[in-house]
């Protein structure tokens, strides 16, 4: 959620840190800060608001030295104030270590530590849990910054990724991780630390993913990695295959719109090399070593959060329909805290765009603890979920910067479709049926390109602008498009701040119908070739009878839908199993243009973060 960037090298440290902070803005934040040192002074400056506000606050200020850190904060403890922003320092009068600390995560025992430190004379100036780390390091000062940090970390309970610098050690940066992502960037005579590689990708693409329970010491001469008990760790450097251009807007006003338009490409990349049309089967090399176990599965549990959970619901329909394997879809935040039954023959599939979602990671670890086969679907190569699952599949969607996920959702559905075909073929689905589905799947990127053509976009924009001032929306779908209704409602909530609810269309009469009036539009997915189409038309009649306003997502050949719907969003006809890959796009654009019309912050909606690394 929060963002960290650190640097040790010969470049202008202020410029490197500010650039890194800008590249971390997508994660969601409410304040920012920077700290550097040259051994004579420790300079710490913070500001609430955007990075641009921090830049204004530090104009004319010298940031000495060649070592420093920056942070973007997403509030967990304490309000949005300059005092609560990071980096945090200890007591200003200390004669031990003057340190600055940036921290992502939550320290669960901070109140206990704070009480003990206050009794020893430490004075706190913020409401945060992070500040105790700075004071604790100061308390443990014994002539070595590394040892003081290591001792302090042994007292902490909870999740953290931290970066520490000290005036007394102007050529040393200490970083550590526990349940919050941290990546070391290895350059030529310079080193970086970040919440993810985007913080420094313009400088180096050679990275080392720091693992839980590890501490890193970085100097101009190099770096060392060790466990908290000081056991040395050796780790290979990996090279990431995307560059800075992929995380730039490329002429778009917003990342979200760019990523909506990228879906023909990201969907194609998600299936590239994975379709064997001749044999009517899918190739998923990431799980090839588990094919024997997968062929005899008795049950699958899919666990995820947010948009990934909606993709998981689509996966449930696909796997049960095609492979005839029972599937349960669980919120990871609930799964982790109950006592799930994971019997032999059960696989747990975890889905996450970032591969770092805290609740999903906890669900993964619980499933492994119970002996389950755990598979992963994620987008970020080398992420924690990718490393901790037994096997898995990457999305290859490229960096997704907009907080409201778009291309990751359709890429997840694409991978779930391939997985469903693979499972189904191992259980007797015919070669011809596999060929039929995979041929249609291979055509989806072209269908998406057609759907995203300018005339369609303008029609959606017009509808969105006409409804942008409404306060409530109802989204309805049936079967495999019910999860798309949920996702459409989520997109509208996330970026336009309009209250929206998604429901199975048949459930409307069990409560939501009481809300129907002229002021609340209903967005209904009604596809002519859907076996449930007559039922959906009946639901529309019920809304019309109560004066409701209907926006329908309908296929192009449906010439009767205008009799029921005031507005129609047209999509190409594809097999119903693949329809979420086209019905999702107009709902993404509807939300986008409503938010633009309302003047909302599109890429960084309030209170939200891209990578949710806390509970």
- Residues annotated as catalytic (active site), given as ranges: 2, 610
* Gap between the Cα atoms of 267 and 364, Å rounded: 26
Six-digit token pair at 264?
């023909």
**Helix (H), strand (E) at residue 319:** helix 306-323
* Gap between the Cα atoms of 383 and 379, Å rounded: 8
Strand order in the sheet with 214-219: 88-89, 99-107, 158-166, 169-178, 214-219, 222-227, 232-233
Six-digit token pair at 458?
């303008």
**Would you call 257 helix, strand, or coil by DSSP?**
helix
Q: Which of 88, 74, 54 is nearest to 165 (CA)?
A: 88
Q: Degrees (nearest 5) of the Cα angle 205, 211, 214?
A: 115
**Would you call 89 helix, strand, or coil by DSSP?**
strand
For the chain, what's the residue count? 615
* Gap between the Cα atoms of 401 and 523, Å rounded: 27
Task: Give CA separation, 278 vs 267, 271, 282, 432, 522, in Å.
Answer: 21, 15, 10, 9, 43
Task: Give CA separation, 96 vs 1, 88, 89, 93, 102, in Å.
Answer: 32, 16, 13, 9, 19
C-beta of residue 350 within 8 angstroms of C-beta of residue 368: no
Q: Residue 222: how many CA atoms within 13 Å on its side-chain side?
A: 2
- For helices 407-425 and 580-598, the axis angle rounded to 10 degrees is 170
C-beta of residue 416 within 8 angstroms of C-beta of residue 311: yes
C-beta of residue 17 within 8 angstroms of C-beta of residue 5: yes
Q: Which of 438, 419, 473 is nearest to 587 (CA)?
A: 473
């Amino acid at each position: 959620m929060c963002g960290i960037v650190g640097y040790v090298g010969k470049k202008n440290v202020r410029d490197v840190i500010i650039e890194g902070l800008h590249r971390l803005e997508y994660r969601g934040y409410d304040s920012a800060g920077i700290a550097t040192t040259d051994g004579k002074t420790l300079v710490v400056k913070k500001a609430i608001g955007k990075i641009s506000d921090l830049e204004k606050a530090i104009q004319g200020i010298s940031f000495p030295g060649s070592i420093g850190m920056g942070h973007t904060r997403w509030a967990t403890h304490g309000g949005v104030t300059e005092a609560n922003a990071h980096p945090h320092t200890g007591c200003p009068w200390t004669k031990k270590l003057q340190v600055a600390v940036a921290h992502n995560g939550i320290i669960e025992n901070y109140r206990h530590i704070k009480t003990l430190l206050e009794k020893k004379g430490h004075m706190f100036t913020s409401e945060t849990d992070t500040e105790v780390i700075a004071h604790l390091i100061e308390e443990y000062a014994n002539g070595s910054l590394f040892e003081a940090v290591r001792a302090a970390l042994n007292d902490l309970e909870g999740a953290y990724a931290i970066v520490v610098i000290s005036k007394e050690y102007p050529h040393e940066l200490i970083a550590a991780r526990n349940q919050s992502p941290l990546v070391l960037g290895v350059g030529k005579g310079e080193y970086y630390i970040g919440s993810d590689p985007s913080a420094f990708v313009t400088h180096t693409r050679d990275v080392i993913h720091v693992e839980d329970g590890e501490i890193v010491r970085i100097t101009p001469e190099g770096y060392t990695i060790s466990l908290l008990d000081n056991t040395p760790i050796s780790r290979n450097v990996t090279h990431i295959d995307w560059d800075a251009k992929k995380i730039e807007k490329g002429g778009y006003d917003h990342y979200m719109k760019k990523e909506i338009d990228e879906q023909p490409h990201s969907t194609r990349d998600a299936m590239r090399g994975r379709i064997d049309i001749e044999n009517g089967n899918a190739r998923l090399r990431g799980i090839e070593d588990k094919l024997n176990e997968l062929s005899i599965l008795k049950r699958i549990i899919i666990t995820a959060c947010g948009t990934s959970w909606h993709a998981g619901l689509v996966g449930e329909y696909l796997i049960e329909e095609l492979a005839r394997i029972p599937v349960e879809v669980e919120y990871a935040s609930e799964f982790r805290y109950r006592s799930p039954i994971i019997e032999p023959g059960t696989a747990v599939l975890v889905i996450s765009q970032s591969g770092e979602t805290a609740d999903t990671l906890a669900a993964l670890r619980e499933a492994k603890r119970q002996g389950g086969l755990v598979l992963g679907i994620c987008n970020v190569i080398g992420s924690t979920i990718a490393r901790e699952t037994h096997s898995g599949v990457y999305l290859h969607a490229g960096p997704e910067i907009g907080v409201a996920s778009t291309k990751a959702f359709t890429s997840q559905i694409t991978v779930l479709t391939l997985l469903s075909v693979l499972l189904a073929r191992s259980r007797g689905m015919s070669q011809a049926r596999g060929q039929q589905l995979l041929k249609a799947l291979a055509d989806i990127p072209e269908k998406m390109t057609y759907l995203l053509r300018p005339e369609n976009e303008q029609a959606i924009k017009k509808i969105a602008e006409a409804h942008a001032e409404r306060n409530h929306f109802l989204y309805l779908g049936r079967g495999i498009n019910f999860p798309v209704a949920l996702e459409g409602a989520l997109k509208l909530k996330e970026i336009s701040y309009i209250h929206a609810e998604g429901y199975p269309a048949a459930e409307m009469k069990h409560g939501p119908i009481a809300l129907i009036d002229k002021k609340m539009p209903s967005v209904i997915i009604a596809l002519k070739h859907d076996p449930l189409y007559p039922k959906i038309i009946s639901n529309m009649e019920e809304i019309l009878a109560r004066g409701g306003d209907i926006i329908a997502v309908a296929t192009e050949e449906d010439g009767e839908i205008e009799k029921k719907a005031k507005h129609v969003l047209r999509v190409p006809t594809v097999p119903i199993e693949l329809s979420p890959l086209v019905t999702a796009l107009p709902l993404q654009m509807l939300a986008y243009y409503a938010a633009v019309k309302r003047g909302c912050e599109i890429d960084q909606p309030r209170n939200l973060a891209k990578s949710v690394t806390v509970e």
